[in-house]
Amino acid sequence: METILAAFIAELRAIGLPVSLSENVDAAAALRAMPLGDRDQVKSVLEATLVKNHDHYRAFELAFDIFFGGRPLARLAEGSGAAGRAGSGTGTVLRQLTEDELNDLLFQAVAGRDGVLLRAVAAEAVERWAGIEPGRVVAGTFYLYRTLTRLDLEALRRRLREEEAGPGGLNDLGRRLAEEDQDARVDAARAEVEAEIRRQLIADRDAQAVAMTLRRPLPEDVEFLNASRAQLADLRQTVRPLARKMAARLARKRRHRRRAALDFRRTVRKSLASGGVPVDLAFHKPRPAKPEIMLVADISGSVSAFAGFTMQLAYAIKSEFSRVRSFVFVDGIEEVTDILEAAADITSVTHRLNLGTSAVRLDGHSDYGRALETFWERWGGQVRSRTSVIILGDGRNNYHASRAWVLTAIRQRARHLYWLNPEPAAAWDTGDSIMREYAPGCDLVVECRNLRQLRAFVEQLD
């Protein structure tokens, strides 16, 4: 147990979870204090002692499944003991079934909510159809695909719909609820197949090696530019609580920073308590001016996801600014403040913007020079000394003219001019990226590849 715990913690640290030495010690002590009955108890012990941030839970869960996932049923059957005998019993029976019969058994397992049967069916299906090749370094996605072409989950869903519809007595709502319940069960069946494949992979290679292939970055470390759709969905879940935390923090920072002028009236009133001697001074509450933010975002192609997140974040904490205005551009530029304010979900809006606004004038390739110049001509006069202008983009100008003088002009009027670039700093100035021309005009150019960096930037804003 000690060695597997050490390996498990090493894996968590490799993913990026901050596990301290004392937490390591706690986990070991907790495992000793707990009468360990089953896997779930080990899991709750490790979770309580090692994972102190709920955003990291998914990463923990995957790693836990890899290290403490148990052995595949098929291999259990080869072993001895009670578990082995039970396994071989179902195993041999299942092996003689035809494809249809196995699918039928799957239906019975899901319909009857029989977890043990479900696992046995999943194990058999993986054994039969996944065609796992020993020793190959893969994450198992293809094995999953191969298994699921034969183990038909869509047919299962249809059949559940038909057979559980009941004697026509369900109203609209009842049907809806039943369908959601069925979907959850089909998802569970799919997860069981995935878990079985993982177990097979681990039995083939060892846990550490599999963990390395399956390792995924934590939500805050996912790069905006090459995030998959599922990762983007995860990120969206993370942004809202993050924004709430940041708003609280900014508000606090602003309030605590300095004392305002002496409140003479309250000081005199207080001094009466000490015989006219002003022992405690009273001060006015500081009421610092809130800054105004102008976001100018490139929404072409791959950069749009990054722009979407930054805008979402900015809007979520807009109570901390006197005003947030947003502009989007590709080769033309357009103000979208009103559109964004009316919409509930900003990420869906960026998609709509891409379709029909004057942000796109010609060919849909970004032209920073033209966009910036137009911005300066139309809205430059509204940039004031309290305004911070933030430009979001990768600075890839498709070999158009840079017109970097615009940035110098904006900077002279504005309080600050920042440029956030979602590309790694090493990639700047390669190809058509012309950050070196724009950088001198800005107060600060920040690499902003993931949520962690974005958050660090917003926290130092003022």
Partner 1 sequence: MHRFESPELVGRSLRGAGYLASERISSVVYLGDRLGKPVLVEGPAGTGKTELAKSVARMSGMRLIRLQCYEGLDEAKALYEWNYKKQLLRIQAERTGSQGEMAEWTELEADIFSEEFLLARPLLSAIRAPDPVVLLIDEVDRLDVETEALLLEVLSDYQVSIPELGTVTSTQTPLVFLTSNNSRELSEALKRRCLYLYIDYPSVEREQEIVLSHVPGISETLTSQITGVVRSLRQLDLKKKPSVSETIDWAQTLYLLGAQQVSNELVVDTLHVLLKHQSDIDKATAEFTAAR
Binding positions for partner 1, rule: CB under 8 A? 18, 20, 22-23, 26, 29-30, 33-35, 40-41, 44-45, 47-49, 51-54, 57, 171-177, 180-181, 241, 244-245, 248-249, 252, 256, 344-345
Cα-trace Rg, the chain: 29
Strand runs labelled E in 290-386: 292-298, 323-329, 333-335
- Minimum CB distance to partner 1, residue 245 (Å): 5
- Nearest to partner 1 of 20, 412 (CB atom): 20
Please name which of 301, 317, 309, 294 lies closest in space to residue 349, comparing C-alpha atoms: 309
Measured CA to CA, the distance from residue 313 to residue 307 in angstroms comes to: 10
- Nearest to partner 1 of 24, 213 (CB atom): 24
- Nearest to partner 1 of 220, 373 (CB atom): 220
- Nearest to partner 1 of 138, 247 (CB atom): 247
Residue 374, classed as helix, strand or coil, is helix
**Residue 273 CB coordination number (10 Å):** 10
- Minimum CB distance to partner 1, residue 358 (Å): 29
Report whether 247 contacts 457 (CB < 8 A): no
Please name which of 305, 304, 298, 360 lies closest in space to residue 332, comparing C-alpha atoms: 360
- Nearest to partner 1 of 78, 183 (CB atom): 183
- Minimum CB distance to partner 1, residue 30 (Å): 5
- Nearest to partner 1 of 18, 89 (CB atom): 18
- Minimum CB distance to partner 1, residue 199 (Å): 23
User: Tokens for 122?
Assistant: 């999943």
What is the rounded (10 degree) CA torsion for 244, 245, 246, 249? 120
- Minimum CB distance to partner 1, residue 47 (Å): 7
**Residue 39 CB coordination number (10 Å):** 13
Q: Please identify which residue in the block is written with the tokens 């940035």.
A: 407
- Nearest to partner 1 of 52, 323 (CB atom): 52
- Minimum CB distance to partner 1, residue 117 (Å): 19
Strands 333-335 and 323-329: antiparallel
- Minimum CB distance to partner 1, residue 183 (Å): 10
